[in-house]
Amino acid sequence: MSELEFALNTFYLLMSGALVMWMAAGFTMLEAGLVRRKNASTIVTKNFGLFSIACVMYLVCGFYIMYPGDSAISSLIPGFGSTLGLGMGSQDMSYGSYSEASDFFFQVVFVATAMSIVSGAVAERMKLMPFFFFAIVLTGFIYPVQGYWKWGGGFLDALGYADFAGSGVVHLCGAAAALAAVLILGPRTGKYAEDGSSLAIPGSNIPIAGLGALILWLGWFGFNGGSQLAVNTASDAIAVGQVFLNTNASAAGGVLGAMAAARLITGKVDVTMAINGAIAGLVSITAAPDTPTGGLATLIGAIGGVIVFFSVTYLDKKFKIDDPVG
């Protein structure tokens, strides 16, 4: 590989990571807009804190747990690949087709994304210090261990499990942690009436929430597109173009699917459901944005949008699972 190709791949990974980092702003605005005004500042504080904790914990130990190399204990237990990462960053081209530091930067924003999912689910119930402690555990240990199972060469990778950009590695990790937290914390005060019926708790600023969702949509191009990890050949460039096309198409399909389901079942279109439809479409395509055609990607997103409508409605009313963001 030439120095120019190495530099191109490294720059692409860094710019993709910067786009994904912008998703932190999207999550912050989405969550702040969907909670009550009195809790908005706490949500912003949590998101600043979780992102910073993720950066430090993944640098100190998470990266080396997730990629232990020959130090892996088994395909299930990763081990620890190196010394603390405070001095990481090889200064030559021996790491691979891009620099070690750019790889770390691209990976660490994925870690923060997983924890951001938890932040929205536990909004208005979890105090600041317990939340930050949970962020330390998830970003430093839980995420790296399950990330090793696929991306670090663990047992899921050996079984042939495919996850191009982290639909399972990132989003399922965050979702599982969020579900566990919500079940332990219970619903917000005033969410359910004495007869068990669900009561609406309006968000403080829907336009801000909508803007946050659009920022997430934008950041997802870095999330999925960057996972190609290279643009130094024509085939890589073509693949990245297809990933961008499919990511956008699936998000659009998710919006339309969720809006159509809401209109048919409830007789009206809810803006928060449209927002969740977009995110559902984005998550749905993240597992394999490089494979389908644009039309199929739209269908995948639409199915995700329909599923999220029924899931949010059913989990809220049947199981009393209170997720302020959805």
Between CA 172 and CA 113 the distance in angstroms is 11
Which of 90, 80, 78 is closest to 60 using CA atoms? 80
Between CA 79 and CA 194 the distance in angstroms is 50
**Domains in the chain, start-ordered, CATH in brackets?**
3-317 (1.10.3430.10)
Mean pLDDT in the chain? 91
pLDDT value, residue 248: 98
Between CA 171 and CA 3 the distance in angstroms is 35
**Contacts (Cβ under 8 Å, ≥6 apart) of 253:** 281, 297, 298, 299, 300, 301, 302, 303, 304, 305
Is the separation of the CB atoms in 60 and 121 below 8 Å? no
In our burial notation (b when 16+ CB lie closer than 10 A, e otherwise), range 136-174 reads eebbbebbbbbbbbbbbbbebbeeeeebbbbbbbbbbbb
pLDDT value, residue 261: 96
Between CA 323 and CA 326 the distance in angstroms is 5
225 burial type by CB count under 10 A (0-12 exposed, 13-18 middle, 19+ buried): buried
Note the pLDDT tens digit of each residue in 148-191. Answer: 999 999 999 999 999 999 999 999 999 999 999 999 999 888 77
pLDDT value, residue 312: 86
pLDDT value, residue 315: 83
pTM summary value: 0.94
Distance of CA 241 to the CA centre of its chain: 21
The pLDDT averaged over each successive group of 10 residues in the chain (326 residues) is 92 97 96 92 96 95 87 80 60 81 94 95 91 96 95 93 94 95 88 77 91 98 97 96 98 98 92 95 97 97 96 83 83
pLDDT value, residue 200: 78
Note the pLDDT tens digit of each residue in 102-111. Answer: 999 999 999 9
pLDDT value, residue 87: 59
pLDDT value, residue 199: 77
